[in-house]
Amino acid sequence: MTKREKETLTKLELQIMQVIWKLGASNVSAVQAGLEQELAYTTVQTMLNILHKKGKLKRKLHGRAFEYSATVTEANASGHALRDLIDRMFGGSSEDLVMSLIKTRQIDPRKILELTKRLEEGADK
């Protein structure tokens, strides 16, 4: 498994992590119940084991079932995902990402100015 594969989360892995972040330490059944889509118990169990191998979760035996908890914060995981996106799609250029958001009308220039102003005000504090 490459470093990139260990750091980035698939869509399903992210959904499972979001359940763990929301509920805290959870067993397979709790994670399964917390997901929006219906997945088989064994599928959830397999995904939790993959996340454990990736180092995103730790597990502790409670009775006969493992309880999984996050080893990474949501902010840390989103930072890795954003960095991966910028590296893969924009050659590592954050500026190219912002220009793409403007060109595709995902964000308008007025909003960029507003955000810049807020950043400058935050830097003054």
Give residue 81's pLDDT: 87
- Provide the residue range defining the domain that includes 25: 3-70
Tell me the Ramachandran region of residue 38: left when phi exceeds 0, alpha when psi lies from -120 to 50, beta otherwise: beta
Residue 50 and residue 99 in one domain? no
The CATH number of whichever domain residue 34 belongs to comes to: 1.10.10.10
The least confident of 28-37, 46-55, 80-89 is 80-89
**Do residues 119 and 39 touch, judged by C-beta distance below 8 A?**
no
- 71 has a pLDDT exceeding 80: yes
Q: Tens of pLDDT along 19-42?
A: 999 999 999 999 999 999 999 999
Give residue 124's pLDDT: 61
Tell me the C-alpha to C-alpha distance, in Å, between residue 39 and each of 12, 23, 85: 10, 18, 28
Average pLDDT of the chain is 90
Give residue 50's pLDDT: 96
Give residue 102's pLDDT: 86
Give residue 41's pLDDT: 97
Number of domains in the chain: 2
Task: Classify residue 120: in a domain, yes or no.
Answer: yes
Q: Residue 103's CB: how many other CB atoms inside 10 A?
A: 8
Tokens 């892995």: give the residue: 13
